[in-house]
Structure 1
Amino acid sequence: MDDRERALKQDGYLLGIATLGLVNGMHFSPLYDGAFVLLRPILATLFITSPVVQFYLSSLLLAVGSVLLAGIPAAIFERATGRKESDPTSLAIWLACIGALALPAFGRLFGVI
């Protein structure tokens, strides 16, 4: 039963990480316009010229990039403490970091920024 409880805690953290990554990759993120402008010439060389596909790929790039970037402090914590696998503490660090990255997106979403 202990493994089930640990898995449920980790699932909650992973769901939160994925959700905040998606929020940071949406159109109201301040980084979205820059990512779209930078990605557009690369996609044109790959013969992806549909604007809709370019919008979706820009959003996907931001979402995945923010999840990867926020995972760096959690990985450093795991390495420093000698842990072999992720536990709720390292996942909480990951969630807090991606929450900090998603703050500007929430600000634009709610009209604060």
Structure 2
Amino acid sequence: MTDDREDILRRDGITIGIAGMSLLNGMHFSAYFDPVFILMKQFAPGFFISSPLLIFYFTSLFISALTLAIGGIPAAIYERGKGLETSNATSMWIWLGGILLLTIPTLLQMTARPA
């Protein structure tokens, strides 16, 4: 019984790390923000979004969601290869590692900016 609780608690912590890193990658200082913002400005009128502030927020949300989805591909391949039906701690660590690789340019750009 305690092993299940420990595993659930470990997965919850990794899930918080996954969400935090993907949100960090969607921030305005992200290395991916400016190119995606330019593309979003072109597509926004098709979705009846005219406010620059809304485009700014949707760009951040889009980058975060895309980071979450792309970072999960290696974990999904691992789970498929192992034949797992549910995620375990190893696949969650793989997911966090994939997101961390996608977030490295943002972390480098964040630390390189003067205060």
Shorter-chain TM-score: what band? over 0.9
Q: Residue deviations 1:37-73, cap 9 Å, x none? A: 1111211122211111100000000000001000000
- Look up the equivalent residue of 2:82 and give its one-letter code: T
In the alignment, structure 1 segments of 5+ residues that lack a partner are none
Aligned sequence identity (%): 41
| Deviation of 1:2 (Å) | 2.3
Query: C-alpha separation between the residues in 2 aligned to 1:105 and 1:44?
Result: 28
When the two chains are superposed, the root-mean-square deviation of aligned CA atoms in Å is 1.0
Query: C-alpha separation between the residues in 2 aligned to 1:46 and 1:81?
Result: 41
TM-score, structure 1 as length reference:
0.95
Q: How many residues align?
A: 112
Matched residue, 1:45:
46
Matched residue, 1:27:
28
Please list every run of at least 4 consecutive aligned residues from structure 1 whose deviation after the TM superposition is greater than 2 angstroms. Answer: none
Query: C-alpha separation between the residues in 1 aligned to 2:105 and 2:30?
Result: 7
Matched residue, 1:98:
99
Query: C-alpha separation between the residues in 2 aligned to 1:47 and 1:91?
Result: 37
